[in-house]
Amino acid sequence: MNSQQFDNNGGNVQVQGKVEHAIIQAPSINQDRQSKDRCFDYFAVTDPRDVKMTIHQTRGAALKKSYDWILRHPQFQHWRNNNNSQVLWIKGDPGKGKTMLLCGIIDELGPTTKLADRQARKFLSFFFCQATVPKLSNAHAVLRGLIYMLVDRKPSLLSIIREKFKEIGEPRFGDAEAWAALCVMFLNILREASPDKIYIVVDALDECVQDQDKLLQFILQGTKEFPHVKWIISSRNHVEHRTRLNDSQSILSLELQENAESVSVAIGAYISDRIAELESLQNDDALLEHVRQTLQKKAEGTFLWVALVVQELQHVDSWDVEQVVDDVPTGLDYLYARMIDQIEQTAPRSREYCQLVLSAATLAYRPLQLLELGVVSGLPNKIAGNANNIKTIVKRSGSFLTIRDKTIYFVHQSAKDYLIEKAGPSIFPSGSTAAHGRMFTKSLQVMDKVLRRDMYSLGALGTPINQAQPPEPDPLAVARYSCVYWVDHLDQSGSYEALQDAGTVDAFLRTRCLYWLEALSLLRSVTDGIMSVHKLGALIQGRSGVAGLQDLVQDTYRFIRYHRGAIENSPLQAYGSALVFSPRQSMTKQLFQQEWPNNIAIAPAMGDDWDAHTGACLQTLEGHDDWVTSVVFSHDSSRVASGSDDRTIKIWDAHTGACLQTLEGHDKWVRSVVSSHDSRRVASGSDDRTIKIWDAHTGACLKTLEGHDSRVTSVVFSHDSSRVASRSDDETIKIWDAHTGACLQTLEGHDSNVRSVVFSHDSSRVASGSSDETIKTWDAHTGACLQTLEGHDNWVTAVVFSHDSSRVASRSDDETIKIWDAHTGACLQMLSIGSAVNNLSFDATGSSLHTNIGIVALYDLPTPSPTTPTDIAASELQSLRASQPSQSPEYQGYGISPDRFWITRRSQNWLWLPPTYRPICSAVGQSGLALVLGCQSGRVLIFGFAPEDSN
C-alpha cells in the first residue's frame, strides 16, 4: 500500500448491476432534520468580535490613555485621511502593546463606521491571529473571518459568495484551491462594496503560522486596485515583506526613537492604571510612587512585562512589595527565566507537577480545558480528575498560563516561545519527544476508559447531530482533546512501538473504533478523524511486523470515508447505516457485529470487498445497466420486478436477491412494471408506446399490446388478472384483454396527461388521476365515466381503491391525500402529508394507507354509502364532495423519507442511505414489512422487516 493509493480510496461512483437485501427490525426514533445555510456557516468558523471580547477578558480592555497617542500620530492621520494611503503596518517586539493599540483603533473606528447601522456607507472588519488556537492561526481562517464580518454587516454581499459556492462547491479547509476561491470571493466583495469605505484590521500577522506569506502578499499586492479599502496590520519585527512597499503602504515601528516618548507615556498610563488596583499599595502613597517609578524605568516599553509583574505583586504582602519590585529583572526573557527558577526551587513533587502541566500546555495543538490537561499531562489520578487541583498546579507554574472558562491559555505567544526555545531542559527533562509519547499514551488510555456506545443517550439511530446535547457530567469532557489529537502526538513521539500487530493502536481500533467515530461525530470532528487515520497509514508504511495493522487501518480509513455523511449527521449511524452498507469482509464490520441493532435478523449481501476507487460495496449479481424507474413486489411477496432505462425488466427472488429472469423486447425505456394478482404474469409499459405481458416464470413475452399514440407511463392488472389497464401521455386509458391482447375500451375525458390508473378490487370499475387535478371513475365493462371528483389543487399522481371497493384514495402534488366515497363521490377525509408521496395502497381492512413515507392510520371515517350518485340531488352531491378539514397523518411502519436519504420508521429517519443506494423509485410490500428500492446506479435493494411488536 502506498500513500497515494491509501488517500484515494474514498468517494462515490455508480456501480451498476447490484442487488442487496436484508431482513431488519428497526428501533424507535424521534428526529427532526433541520437545514442550514452551509454557505454562510462555512465562514462562521469564529466571530472575530467574540475573540476581541475574549482578549478584553484575558488581558483587560484597551486603556484609552495607552493607545490614544496612535490616533494623533502623523502616520495614522495620513493613513486615515489620505485616499492614497492604503496600508498601515504597525511593527513591534513581543509585549509592546500591539494588540492593545489595534483594539483601541477598532473601538475608535467603530462609532465612525456606524457598526450598528446596516445601511451605513462605511464598514469595519477585523481579525485577531493567535498561534495557539488552530482556527485563528492560518490564512484561510483570516479571510473567512473577514468575509464573515463584512457579509454579516451587509447581507446583500452574501449572494456573491453563494455564487462562487455554486461554481466550486464548499472549499475544503486548507486546500490550495480553497485559498484561490477565498481570494476571489473576498475581491468580489470589495469590488461590490465600492465606493463604500472599508476598514480592515488584522492583528498579530506573525501568529498566522500557516500561509503567512500568502496572506501578506494578498494584503500588500492583491487589493491594490481598491483605494476604498484601508488596511491596518500588526506583527513582530521579524515578519518581512517579500515585495517593495509602494507609496500607499507604510510601516510604523514602535521601536523607533521618534515613537519612544509616546510609547513611554502610554506605558506610564498603563502602569498607573494597573497598580491602582493592588491592595498592598492602598493608603501608602510613597510606596505607590516608588512602584510606579521603578516599573516605568524597568518596563522598556513592554506592556506585557508590566502585566506579569503586577500579576506577581497581587500575591505579595505590602512589606515585601518594595523588595520584589527592586529585584524583578528587566526584559521579558529575564522575567520568564526568573519564573522557571522559582518553579525549580519548589519541592520535588510540586516541581514535577508544574513541569507536566507546562510541557503538556506547550505541546498541545490547541488550548486545553482543565480536565483535558489533567489527563494528557500525566498528573496523578487524584489530581487529574479534580479541576480545582489542576487550577492550583497551573497557578504554581509561574505566570506563563492563565485560565478562562475552564480553559488554559498562554498569557502571550512570547511565553510559549520562551518555553520552547529556552526552557526546554526545565520543562522537558526527558525531551519533547518523550513528552509527546506520554500525551499519546494518556490519550489512548482515557479513550479506552471513556468511549462506549451512545455516550449522549440519543437512543434512536437516526437522531440528528443538532439534537445531540452533552449530558451533565459530559462523559467526553476529559477525552475531547485526545479523540482528535492522539495520532498527532504519536507521530511526534518518534517512538512507534505502539504501531505493531497486537500493539496498543491495533487493540484500540479493534475494540474502540466505532465508539471513537461516534465521539468524533459528537465533537463535530469527523474530518479530523479521517486525517488521523490517513496519518496512521503513513506512519506504518514500510514498517515490518505491521501487516495486520496495515489492513485494519486501511479498512478503517475506507469505512470512515465512505460512511462519513451518515456518521457526521447522525452519530449513531456508526452502528446502523455504516455497518449495514459495508462489505461482508470489512474488518470493522466484523469486529463490531455485536453493535448492530438488536433487531437485525439477516445481514445484507453487500459483497466481499471495498471498491478500489470509491469505497462503494461490490456485488457479483448481474443487474440493470441504467436507471431503475419502476419496482414492484409480486402479490405473494416472493419476487420483485424492476423496470429500467436499459429497456429490460428483471425478476428477482425477494429472499435471496438472485436474478431469476431478464425480460428483453422493448425498444425504449421501460416506465412501468406490474405483477398480476396471481403472481404468474408481469406487464410492462414503455416509451416505445407498447405494453408487453410476460410469463413471470419462463420470461416469455406472451403479448405485445399496441394502440397508444404516446409513451405508456403506467400499467395495472385487474384483480382477477383477466384485464390490463394502461395510461399514456396521449391522455387516454385503455383496457385490454390480458389473454387475447384485444383492446376492450378506450377511456377519454381527462384534459391533460393521465398520471395513474387502477382497477377496483371487484374489477368492475377503474379510477384514474390526471394532471387536470381531477379523479375519474369509470365502468370497466362499458367505459362510461361514472364520476369526476374535484378538490385537489395540483396534479393527481396516484389513485387506489380500498379492498372492498367502497373508497378511493388519491394523492396529489398539492401534498395531500384525499379519501373519497367510491359510490357518492363525497370527500371523507383529507390528510396533509407535507410532501409528495410516491406509493399508495389500502391495507386489507381499509383502516390504513400504505405510502413510501410509512403507513397512515385512518380513523373515524364515515360509513361508505351504497347510494349511487344518480340517486342524489346535484346540490347535495356538491356538498358531499366538499373537502373535509385537513388532518395530520399518524404514520406507522417503514418507508422512504421525502428527500430519499433515509429509510424511515413511523416517518422518522432510521437508516441513512449512502448516495449510491438512494432510490429513484420504491415500493412497500402488502404486509408493510417489506421495502424495495430502485436506484439510479442500477441497484435494486430489498429490505424485509420483522413485525413491530417483535424484539
pLDDT tens for each residue of 181-237: 888 888 888 888 777 789 999 999 999 988 899 899 898 888 888 888 999 999 998
CA distance 99 to 102: 5
Tens-digit pLDDT profile for residues 700-727: 899 999 999 999 988 999 988 899 999 8
Two domains, one topology: 38-255 and 750-760+785-887: no
474 in Cβ contact with 480 (< 8 Å): no
Phi-psi region of 900 (alpha: psi -120 to 50; beta: other; left: phi over 0): left
Cβ neighbours of residue 182 under 8 Å, at least 6 residues apart? 140, 143, 144, 147, 171
Percentage of residues of the chain with pLDDT beyond 70: 83
Tens-digit pLDDT profile for residues 409-430: 998 889 999 999 999 899 999 9
Q: What's the chain's length in residues?
A: 951
930 in Cβ contact with 944 (< 8 Å): yes
CA distance 637 to 650: 15
* Average pLDDT of span 147-170: 74
- Is residue 6 over pLDDT 50? no
* Angle between the N-to-C axes of helices 413-421 and 348-363, in degrees from 0 to 180, rounded to the nearest 10: 110
Cβ neighbours of residue 937 under 8 Å, at least 6 residues apart? 14, 15, 16, 18, 916
Phi, psi (deg, nearest 5) at residue 557? -65, -45
Per-residue pLDDT band for 43 (boundaries 50, 70, 90) equals: confident
CA distance 495 to 431: 12
303 in Cβ contact with 274 (< 8 Å): no
CA distance 916 to 930: 20
Tens-digit pLDDT profile for residues 733-782: 999 999 999 999 999 999 888 888 999 988 899 999 988 999 999 999 99
How much is the pLDDT for 184? 85
* Average pLDDT of span 53-69: 80
Cβ neighbours of residue 285 under 8 Å, at least 6 residues apart? none
How much is the pLDDT for 838? 62
733 in Cβ contact with 766 (< 8 Å): yes
Element holding 217 (H helix, E strand)? helix 212-217
188 in Cβ contact with 217 (< 8 Å): no
- Residue 215's Cα: distance from chain center in Å? 28
* Average pLDDT of span 871-885: 49
691 in Cβ contact with 670 (< 8 Å): no
Helices (H), 279-363: 285-299, 303-313, 318-327, 332-344, 348-363
Strand partners, 641: 632, 651
* Average pLDDT of span 418-445: 94
How much is the pLDDT for 142? 93
Report angle CA 248, 252, 254 to the nearest 5 degrees.
175
Per-residue pLDDT band for 442 (boundaries 50, 70, 90) equals: very high
Tell me the one-letter amino acid at 41.
D
- Is residue 574 over pLDDT 90? yes
How much is the pLDDT for 359? 96
Tens-digit pLDDT profile for residues 484-540: 999 999 999 987 889 999 999 999 999 999 999 999 999 999 988 998 999 999 999
Per-residue pLDDT band for 446 (boundaries 50, 70, 90) equals: very high
Per-residue pLDDT band for 870 (boundaries 50, 70, 90) equals: very low
- Residue 596's Cα: distance from chain center in Å? 23
Tell me the one-letter amino acid at 901.
F
* Average pLDDT of span 110-135: 71
Cβ neighbours of residue 35 under 8 Å, at least 6 residues apart? none
* Angle between the N-to-C axes of helices 285-299 and 303-313, in degrees from 0 to 180, rounded to the nearest 10: 140
Tell me the one-letter amino acid at 3.
S
CA distance 59 to 292: 20
DSSP-assigned states of every residue in 542-584: T-SS-HHHHHHHHHHHHHHHHTHHHHHH-GGGGTTHHHHTS-T
CA distance 736 to 652: 26
* Average pLDDT of span 928-934: 72
How much is the pLDDT for 600? 54
* Average pLDDT of span 110-123: 56
- Is residue 8 over pLDDT 60? no
CA distance 849 to 818: 11
Phi, psi (deg, nearest 5) at residue 71? -70, -25
How much is the pLDDT for 535? 92
Per-residue pLDDT band for 121 (boundaries 50, 70, 90) equals: low
Three-state secondary structure of 869-882: HHHCCHHHHHHHCC
- Is residue 876 over pLDDT 70? no
| Domain 750-760+785-887: CATH class, spelled out | mainly beta
Radius of gyration of the chain (CA): 36
Per-residue pLDDT band for 545 (boundaries 50, 70, 90) equals: confident
DSSP structural state of residue 916: G
- Is residue 805 over pLDDT 90? no
Per-residue pLDDT band for 861 (boundaries 50, 70, 90) equals: low
**276 compared with 163, residue with greater pLDDT:** 276
What SS3 class is residue 765? strand
Classify residue 392 as exposed, middle or buried by CB count within 10 Å of its CB (0-12, 13-18, 19+). Answer: middle
Per-residue pLDDT band for 110 (boundaries 50, 70, 90) equals: confident
How much is the pLDDT for 834? 65
CA distance 313 to 328: 11
What integer best gives the mean pLDDT of the chain?
82
Least confident of 30-44, 100-114, 772-786: 30-44
CA distance 233 to 511: 50
How much is the pLDDT for 688? 93
SS3 content of the chain, % helix, strand, coil (to 5): 40, 25, 40
Three-state secondary structure of 774-802: EEEEEECCCCCEEEEEECCCCCEEEEEEC
| Domain 38-255: CATH class, spelled out | alpha beta
293 in Cβ contact with 328 (< 8 Å): no
Report angle CA 568, 570, 576 to the nearest 5 degrees.
110
Tens-digit pLDDT profile for residues 888-915: 666 677 778 877 888 887 778 888 888 7
Beta strand pairing call for 855-857 and 886-887: unpaired
Per-residue pLDDT band for 155 (boundaries 50, 70, 90) equals: confident
* Average pLDDT of span 916-924: 77
What grid cell was written down for 866?
351504497
744 in Cβ contact with 763 (< 8 Å): no
Least confident of 123-137, 413-427, 552-566, 606-620: 606-620
CA distance 235 to 204: 5
Per-residue pLDDT band for 655 (boundaries 50, 70, 90) equals: low
Tens-digit pLDDT profile for residues 674-707: 989 888 899 999 999 999 999 888 888 999 999 9
What SS3 class is residue 58? helix
Domain boundaries, the chain: 38-255, 260-330, 750-760+785-887
End-to-end CA, the chain: 44
